[in-house]
Structure 1
């Protein structure tokens, strides 16, 4: 119980829940279901009272009240939905913003070149998250946290209030019936949710690894299908993803048994409560002794008897009382999923003992002096890891230093919003100027809505060259004083890429402000570059720093297997 309360407090803090907004949502929910509860009791009384054929004026107040309750139920339900979803959407926005910021600071990035070597156990190590894991964490886990407000917090609070009210009202008519109702509500509102939560927990534990493995494997296939096919590893990769998916489905099926019993507990409780109320009502009403009056009406004459109106209320009130607790099994599942999502998110944010991923780099030096720095070396030597180390992604992130990976994500939104990922206040003029500066002006002018064109599917909507230009424009617009660029000219034509590299490595070109530091990882350094420093990463991980030495360019060219660059990359 203490663990659940601790998780709830952490969840509240992460979501930034507003106490008064939650209270308003609960209040509207109580009024909505309270209207239904009052409607059931008052309608039962009205039907039984009308059977006695009293003067019509005696029923006028009850008739108006029934209509008012019927209207207020729908109105309050609508207002409760508005209030609850307002709280949930605000909370999800807060949580997603916080998680983005935490992931930007956290030491959890892993180069894609090392995914295969580290696939075993990666889903359990918050310092080795893969792109599929990050996608799950940013999207699904935040959604699960937001659902806790709508499907758990508010329904549970409303159910508690309405259950107590229903038992109290029924106790006025019959204490025995109230006790039976209380027990039935406890079964439907406590035992059934507990069983449902257990099923959700079993499903979570059983499915988590397989579902995460499937997501990661699927992302690997989507990102590297051509390379995997050339290497003859595409079919095994597809088989791995398919096997993980099958295991997840089988685990979900096994966990469904408890969910079925939890779902059955509520209707069984309703039946027991109604049957118990019926038997008690028959005993109280039939055993009271009744007399037939001249008008043909039926009136109880014994002090221990109940009236026909009370009997009707005794019968119908329990049916309405279960409306509040009927959603609690689903609430328990939502709460269980939310707690699991919270643990996954916080495990990434709070990871402190980070493995230093050096890939054979014997000693990572500090960022060398110079405003323009080029990093060269054969594939797999550890150039990307070196940039990540300089950014502080393996220990303490350094303020003002930003690492732009070659596979940085493009979102399925407008071109402008993709650029605003780097800085939220980027204006249209700044965005347009940055795209023109990196050679994407013609492409931008060809778009039907310019900067406001949606990139449907994110990176799938553009070519490799266009993607690199967008990412480079995003880097130029960032407020960072040090830009660490990983292969910014990959997928560009040779002449175009060389021209862009010269501009990036020349502090007088105007492409990047001269007071900012630019570090570029590249395979093809132009011979007439103006870099202050060239860093050579050898195949064995050794690092050599050469200030103002350009002759190294020819030493590395033969070691690279470059792709043809004759085709257009627009």
Structure 2
């Protein structure tokens, strides 16, 4: 069962779970006991006994009133502690699986859908512990204790109340679950669609504003959201009927207990004071059984989320089990007859052959959308070639240890992330043991040293990713990649968002640094003027490599831009 498996992946501590159940049972048990003691106290006080006869009950009422709130607070702490710890563990496992999963799994999901799975779906599974499983466990404990109490006072009343409670514990949640399951399936698709539309709107806000299509996208989002709202309203109706049924059954339990209790009192089998206890105690069970329909709905929703998460947790690895260490010594990267593209799609490039000897610097040029970035991902081992092979010193990238491969072949992608933390921490993502001198050297190489020095706290300045310009962001990511110290560096548009003079200087400096360190470099760029300093220029056009220009034979042209 998917839900059971994913809940197990939360790794809930048995001790903490039992503590939450105990605290919740104590809270609701205090509420039931408060009703029973209060009923006895009121009835007994009506007989005007000595005050000392009531003192224990008076103290018990106060104690139960306090313990009810106290135990409820403890239960909230314990249950949310279990859920939040589980969220961390489950997301960690998902991220690890996605990092090394076959790219066909992730590429088959829209970005908004993937966000929905690792976000909302994980929350739903964790939430089922607090709002789904825990209420049923607490209800079972408290209802059993209440029936036991009533059986001691009046067995026939315990039978009547027990029948009503069984129906409230089973029938009402079952009704809510069936209705929720029927319509949640329809709502699942709209949930991912809403997430995808919001992601597209926020991610492409600048482009949509320039194109004047923001209102169009907002209208589409409103339409999808309205459709989702209608589906959720339909899903909520059975839950409302189930809640009504729960209240009705509790009311019938009270009426039934009153009827049999009155008959027992009339026949002398039950003391009149205890009649109030038998009648009012079931009334307190409303608080116990009322959350159960909503708990059943939470379980249904979590089951659907668990099925979607299981598909990610079971994603096949992108690499073979027999992983080999990365060869030592000079790294020779080679692509032979490679077709490049995303899994399951048409190749964007066909028949690519590149011989990247150690220390060689190659530029890749071509029109936007020609497949240059996809080629870099394939050379980095992030995408499997659709045909042909990519090897490092004669060993296919898919057969190498992926962690060691990332340290040997580094890719700076256009969509790499800048974190909302200090400048130092953003750079240390690549190499945690880098010294300040190494950080400043990397910033100097990408022409960011003056900018960083002008910041208020230098390397300790907390960056706001939204306020960093495109050129600054791109060079920060470039500095991060250079800090890794890889033997092969793949750069995707490192000079983008820079003025022509600075862009050309940056490219020449990067090439010079690569030659000085003996690093193999492949750089994708639209800047053609400085390419006279590279060893080879690969031109991509019409889904294939149309030219290999070696050093000294390259002349710039604007025809490719």
TM-score normalised per structure 1: 0.79
What does residue 558 of structure 1 align with?
A: 559
Unpaired runs of 5+ residues, structure 1, are: 110-124, 289-301, 561-570
- Greater fraction of residues in strand: 2
- Choose which of 145, 151, 162 in structure 2 pairs with 1:165: 145
Counting only pairs closer than 5 Å after superposition, residues 74-223 of structure 1 correspond to structure 2 as 74-108=69-103, 127-223=107-203
- Choose which of 30, 33, 38 in structure 2 pairs with 1:38: 33
**What per-residue deviation string (whole Å, max 9, x for no partner) do you get for residues 363-391 of structure 1?**
46688443454333222221122222233
The verdict on how the C-alpha distance between 1:74 and 1:201 changes in structure 2, with shifts beyond 3 A counting, is same
CA distance in 2, matches of 1:435, 1:198: 60
What does residue 402 of structure 2 align with?
A: 398
The verdict on how the C-alpha distance between 1:361 and 1:45 changes in structure 2, with shifts beyond 3 A counting, is same
- Choose which of 503, 506, 513 in structure 2 pairs with 1:500: 506
CA distance in 2, matches of 1:12, 1:25: 17
Counting only pairs closer than 5 Å after superposition, residues 270-309 of structure 1 correspond to structure 2 as 270-285=250-265, 287-288=266-267, 302=268, 305-309=269-273
SS in 1 for 2:18: helix
- Choose which of 18, 32, 39 in structure 1 pairs with 2:13: 18
**What per-residue deviation string (whole Å, max 9, x for no partner) do you get for residues 400-441 of structure 1?**
335443123445555555556556777888766655553344
CA distance in 2, matches of 1:362, 1:59: 91
Counting only pairs closer than 5 Å after superposition, residues 343-358 of structure 1 correspond to structure 2 as 343-352=307-316, 355-357=343-345
SS in 2 for 1:374: strand
1:360 aligns with 2:370: no
- Choose which of 515, 537, 540 in structure 2 pairs with 1:537: 540
What does residue 327 of structure 1 align with?
A: 291
The verdict on how the C-alpha distance between 1:91 and 1:181 changes in structure 2, with shifts beyond 3 A counting, is same
What does residue 523 of structure 1 align with?
A: 526
CA distance in 2, matches of 1:69, 1:259: 32
Displacement of 1:331 in angstroms is: 2.0
CA distance in 2, matches of 1:202, 1:366: 55
Counting only pairs closer than 5 Å after superposition, residues 225-304 of structure 1 correspond to structure 2 as 225=205, 227=207, 237-285=217-265, 287-288=266-267, 302=268
CA distance in 2, matches of 1:8, 1:385: 39
**What per-residue deviation string (whole Å, max 9, x for no partner) do you get for residues 33-66 of structure 1?**
2222222222222222333333333333333333
TM-score normalised per structure 2: 0.80
Displacement of 1:306 in angstroms is: 0.8
- Kept after mapping to 2: 8 A contact 1:357/1:394: no
- Choose which of 416, 426, 434 in structure 2 pairs with 1:408: 416
- Computed over aligned residues only, the root mean square deviation of the Cα atoms, in angstroms, reads 3.5
Bigger mean CA offset, 266-275 vs 408-417? 408-417
Displacement of 1:479 in angstroms is: 8.1
- Choose which of 47, 66, 86 in structure 2 pairs with 1:52: 47
Unpaired runs of 5+ residues, structure 2, are: 319-341, 385-397
Bigger mean CA offset, 414-423 vs 163-172? 414-423
Bigger mean CA offset, 395-404 vs 378-387? 395-404
SS in 1 for 2:120: helix
- Kept after mapping to 2: 8 A contact 1:490/1:497: yes
1:471 aligns with 2:477: yes
Count residues with an aligned counterpart: 517
What does residue 489 of structure 1 align with?
A: 495
SS in 2 for 1:306: coil
- Kept after mapping to 1: 8 A contact 2:112/2:199: yes
The verdict on how the C-alpha distance between 1:445 and 1:315 changes in structure 2, with shifts beyond 3 A counting, is farther
SS in 1 for 2:350: coil
CA distance in 1, matches of 2:442, 2:284: 63
- Kept after mapping to 2: 8 A contact 1:358/1:385: no
SS in 1 for 2:139: helix
- Kept after mapping to 2: 8 A contact 1:185/1:322: no
The verdict on how the C-alpha distance between 1:323 and 1:412 changes in structure 2, with shifts beyond 3 A counting, is farther
